[in-house]
């Protein structure tokens, strides 16, 4: 049963991550980690055939075709995936098997572009349809209009064959991807994790103007089907396509032996860092079409080709400096700044060093040559130091015993690796404390941006959160100095500050930034305590009577309100007119007490805030992410990855109607 459970667990994990990759263009793990999971599942299914299943992800191709992204179209030719191999031995085995089955086969070795697969159908030389891979077997998505604005896609061929269907990879050049992310940052929007995600999302969205602006590219890597024209070999087909002005993967190598094939794979690997785009492997395919017909395909992969996957990309670079930043709690975080290197489609020059213990373990100092990689192909991390390349004047880095911002003494927290500034009035801590206080989860003062906060702190207008409510007394000076802008902008922010006084007291408690007391905990605490004064006087025992409040959180609350400066600040806020009362009642009916809900998708008759308020009124807890602790997922339309994860974890999924039924039941 242990093996069966392991196989089922692997299948669930692979289905979840496959959905994240193919259908949401938002993977959580690297391609390499996914490939290793799939290889492990294949091996177990081979060793234990009694647990085989036709529904296993090892028997499926690609993702699912998303109806909301475009009209679904049936494939004329299945868009199969390739069998992945990961070692020289696997490559040699493939070559030898082909030689056993074929008469003097030729092999073509070429780049495996990291993008999104698309097929183009031409009738009498005119482009009639562009389709995505979809489920790979039956259906894809019609993306013809978006394809027409891609420069590499020819709308009309020079020749006019009766029918020509070709398949290729839509991708983004690194420079074009960097330009898109730069614009996203400028507009304050979320940036893309890598070029592949950006290309996939761009091809599927509905605005062709956005597709054209983002400058997608395409390489053709296969001729799928023809009528009125024939080719004997893959390379002959490439030469024809090039004459039509169609970009193909033309930097290929024709080989006859296993050694030649492996040499070509190694040459591509050595050159991958010099390309203007990302590749994630090398493809080895049979050249003659007649040989391909003899070999055929399984339900998932053609037997005439394999994709060699290179190990995760790592690069050497030189550590230039280590920056120290001070957080809201005074914690000092070291960040490595190194010579920029390109990894997984993006240029990286920074990586966190976490704390002094991490620095000690790496044995790292300025001038060191370091090895950098991307965890999950997203987060830059330092793997190791090349000590043999260490400069002669090298010194291991030590976080200083004074704060890099205010110069006050630092101390190391007991039982942790954190080094903190001891100055409660440190400008860096103050700025982040104010940012937290005015933020959406706390007092939600709209328009109170980071730039304003930094300037108001620097000029001495704000030295505590209570000073925010005195800014109205400086209105004339603020307008004259233009810190917030002209009269209209200044009054708009002052009005937002004034309005925030009416907030529920749990928002104020959240804004205090007490360690281990976030928005959800603050709300639960205030429902129990009902006002800030009662909370300030609560004992450790009384605090621990609140759901989900343990000894650590209770101690943090007690220490915060035991500090005279904090008590004075609360009094100032009270005098300024801030609401100190909880507006929500815990209610007599606490049927959802001890239960955790997550809400996702679009509900038919209420928004998420209304649903959350309803659940919390009956004692339930609403969180933002699905975990093993989640009891129910309330799912509407377009539920996405949270629904997939909940199903993987076996969590109960309910609709809006089912929630209302749970509430109406006596």
The class that CATH gives domain 427-502 is: mainly alpha
Rounded Cα distance between 7 and 200, Å, is 30
Residue 327: phi and psi, rounded to 5, are: -85, -175
Mean local confidence (pLDDT), 228-256: 94
**598: closest CA among 632, 643, 548, 640?**
632
pLDDT at 68: 43
Per-residue pLDDT band for 69 (boundaries 50, 70, 90) equals very low
Candidates 2.40.50.140, 3.40.50.620, 3.30.420.10, 3.40.50.300; correct CATH number of 314-412? 2.40.50.140
Per-residue pLDDT band for 61 (boundaries 50, 70, 90) equals low
Annotation marks residue 565 as catalytic = no
Q: What is the pLDDT of residues 318-363, one digit of tens each?
A: 999 999 998 877 889 999 999 998 887 678 899 999 999 999 999 9
Across 190-256, the runs of DSSP E, i.e. the strands, are: 217-227, 253-255
pLDDT at position 629 over 80: yes
Query: Looking at per-residue confidence, does 571 or 618 come out higher?
Result: 571
pLDDT at position 65 over 60: no
156-190: b (≥16 Cβ within 10 Å) or e: ebeeebeebbbbbbbbbbbebbbebbeeeeeeeee
pLDDT at 513: 87
Mean pLDDT of the chain: 88
State the binding site for NAD(+).
31-35, 81-82, 110, 133, 169, 285, 309
Per-residue pLDDT band for 184 (boundaries 50, 70, 90) equals confident
Measure the CA dihedral 232/83/254/162, to 10°: 30
**592: closest CA among 527, 542, 643, 645?**
527
Q: Which of 117-131, 482-496, 584-598 has the lowest mean pLDDT?
A: 584-598
Residue 482: phi and psi, rounded to 5, are: 70, 25
Mean local confidence (pLDDT), 512-529: 86
Q: Which of 112, 420, 527, 642 is catalytic?
A: 112
pLDDT at position 600 over 60: yes
Q: What is the pLDDT of residues 4-16, one digit of tens each?
A: 888 888 888 888 8
Per-residue pLDDT band for 67 (boundaries 50, 70, 90) equals very low
Q: Which of 121-125, 132-136, 597-601, 654-658 has the highest mean pLDDT?
A: 121-125
Give SS3 for 410. strand
CATH number for the domain running over 505-575: 1.10.150.20
Q: What angle do CA 386, 389, 394 make, to 5 degrees?
A: 100
pLDDT at 332: 92
**Is 427-502's fold the same as 505-575's?**
yes
C-alpha distance across the termini of the chain, in Å: 41
| Alpha-carbon separation of residue 220 from 75, 152, 240 (angstroms) | 17, 9, 12
**378: closest CA among 195, 202, 200?**
195
Q: What angle do CA 498, 499, 505 make, to 5 degrees?
A: 105
pLDDT at 268: 93
Q: Which of 126-130, 191-195, 653-657 has the highest mean pLDDT?
A: 126-130
pLDDT at 128: 96
How many residues does this entry show for the chain? 666
Rounded Cα distance between 156 and 159, Å, is 9
Candidates 3.30.300.30, 3.40.50.150, 3.30.470.30, 3.60.110.10; correct CATH number of 71-309? 3.30.470.30
User: Do strands 314-326 and 369-375 pair parallel, antiparallel, or not at all (unpaired)?
Assistant: antiparallel
**CB–CB of 41/14 below 8 Å?**
yes
**CB–CB of 520/615 below 8 Å?**
no
Sign of CA dihedral 140, 146, 151, 157: positive
Residue 563: phi and psi, rounded to 5, are: -75, 125
Rounded Cα distance between 529 and 239, Å, is 77
Rounded Cα distance between 64 and 75, Å, is 13
Report whether CATH 3.40.50.300 matches the domain 2-60.
no
pLDDT at position 107 over 60: yes
Q: How is the chain split into domains, by residue range?
A: 2-60, 71-309, 314-412, 427-502, 505-575, 596-664
Distance of CA 598 to the CA centre of its chain: 19
pLDDT at 34: 78
SS3 assignment for 117-164: EEEEEEECCEEEEEEECCCCCCEEEECHHHHHCCCCCCCECCCCCCEE
- Work out the percent of the chain whose per-residue pLDDT is above 70: 94
CATH topology of domain 596-664: Rossmann fold (3.40.50)
Mean local confidence (pLDDT), 207-214: 88
pLDDT at 608: 81
Rounded Cα distance between 528 and 587, Å, is 10
Rounded Cα distance between 8 and 231, Å, is 44
Rounded Cα distance between 135 and 160, Å, is 30
pLDDT at position 62 over 70: no
Q: Which of 247-261, 366-380, 427-441, 593-607 has the highest mean pLDDT?
A: 247-261
pLDDT at 586: 52
pLDDT at 26: 64
CB atoms within 10 A of CB 381: 16
State the binding site.
31-35, 81-82, 110, 133, 169, 285, 309, 403, 406, 421, 426
Q: What is the pLDDT of residues 539-562, one digit of tens each?
A: 999 999 887 788 888 998 998 999
pLDDT at position 22 over 70: no
């Amino acid at each position: 049963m242990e093996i069966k459970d392991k196989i089922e667990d692997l299948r669930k994990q692979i289905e979840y991550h496959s959905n994240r990759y193919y259908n949401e263009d938002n993977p959580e793990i690297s391609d390499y980690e996914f490939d290793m999971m799939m290889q492990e599942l294949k091996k177990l299914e081979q060793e234990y055939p009694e647990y085989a299943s036709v529904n296993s992800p090892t028997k499926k191709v690609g993702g699912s075709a998303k109806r909301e992204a475009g009209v679904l179209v049936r494939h004329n030719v299945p868009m199969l995936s390739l069998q992945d191999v990961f070692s020289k031995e696997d490559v040699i085995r493939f070559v030898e098997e082909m030689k056993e089955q074929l008469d003097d086969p030729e092999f073509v070795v070429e780049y495996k572009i990291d993008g999104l697969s698309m097929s183009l159908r031409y009738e009498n030389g005119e482009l009639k349809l562009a389709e995505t891979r979809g489920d790979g077997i039956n259906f894809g998505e019609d993306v013809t209009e978006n394809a027409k604005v891609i420069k590499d896609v020819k709308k009309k061929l020079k020749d006019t064959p009766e029918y020509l269907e070709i398949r290729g990879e839509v991708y983004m050049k690194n420079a074009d991807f960097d330009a898109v992310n730069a614009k996203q940052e400028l507009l304050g929007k979320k940036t893309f994790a890598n070029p592949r995600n950006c290309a996939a999302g761009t091809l599927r969205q509905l605005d062709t103007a956005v597709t054209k602006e983002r400058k997608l590219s395409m390489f053709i890597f296969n001729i799928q089907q023809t009528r009125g024209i024939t080719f004997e070999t893959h390379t002959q087909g490439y030469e024809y396509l090039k004459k039509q002005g169609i970009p193909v993967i033309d930097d290929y190598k024709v080989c006859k032996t296993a050694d030649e094939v492996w040499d070509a794979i190694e040459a591509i690997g050595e050159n991958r860092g010099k390309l203007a785009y990302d590749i994630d492997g090398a493809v080895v395919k049979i050249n003659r079409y007649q040989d391909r017909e003899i070999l055929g395909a399984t339900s998932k992969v053609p037997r005439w080709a394999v994709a060699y996957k290179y190990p995760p990309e790592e690069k050497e670079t030189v550590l230039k400096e280590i920056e120290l930043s001070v957080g809201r709690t005074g914690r000092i975080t070291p960040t490595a700044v190194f010579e920029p290197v390109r990894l997984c489609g993006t240029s990286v020059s920074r990586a966190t060093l976490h704390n002094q213990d991490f620095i000690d373990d790496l044995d790292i100092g300025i001038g060191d040559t370091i090895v950098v990689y991307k965890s999950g192909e997203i987060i830059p991390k330092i793997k190791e130091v090349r000590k043999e390349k260490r400069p002669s004047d090298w010194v291991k880095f030590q976080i200083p015993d004074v704060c890099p911002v205010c110069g006050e003494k630092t101390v190391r927290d007991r039982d942790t690796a954190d080094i903190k500034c001891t100055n409660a009035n440190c400008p860096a801590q103050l700025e982040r404390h104010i940012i937290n206080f005015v933020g959406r989860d706390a007092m939600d003062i709209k328009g109170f941006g980071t730039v304003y906060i930094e300037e108001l702190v620097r000029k001495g207008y704000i030295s505590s959160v209570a000073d925010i409510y005195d800014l109205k007394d400086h209105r004339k000076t603020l307008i004259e100095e233009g810190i917030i802008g002209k009269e209209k902008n200044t009054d708009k922010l002052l009005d937002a500050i004034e309005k925030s006084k009416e907030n529920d007291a749990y928002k104020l408690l959240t804004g205090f930034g007490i360690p281990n007391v976030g928005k959800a905990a603050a709300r639960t605490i205030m429902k129990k305590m009902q006002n800030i004064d009662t909370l300030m006087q609560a004992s450790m025992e009384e605090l621990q009577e609140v759901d989900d409040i343990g000894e650590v959180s209770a101690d943090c609350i007690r220490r915060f309100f035991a500090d005279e400066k904090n008590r004075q600040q609360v009094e100032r806020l009270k005098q300024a007119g801030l609401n100190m009362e909880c507006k929500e009642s815990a209610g007599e009916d606490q049927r959802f007490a001890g239960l955790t809900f997550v809400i996702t998708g679009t509900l038919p008759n209420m928004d998420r805030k209304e649903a959350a308020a309803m659940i919390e009124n009956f004692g339930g807890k609403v969180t933002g992410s699905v975990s093993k602790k989640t009891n129910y997922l309330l799912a509407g339309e377009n539920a996405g990855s949270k629904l997939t994860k909940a199903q993987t974890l076996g969590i109960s999924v309910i609709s809006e109607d089912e929630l209302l039924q749970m509430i109406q039941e006596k």
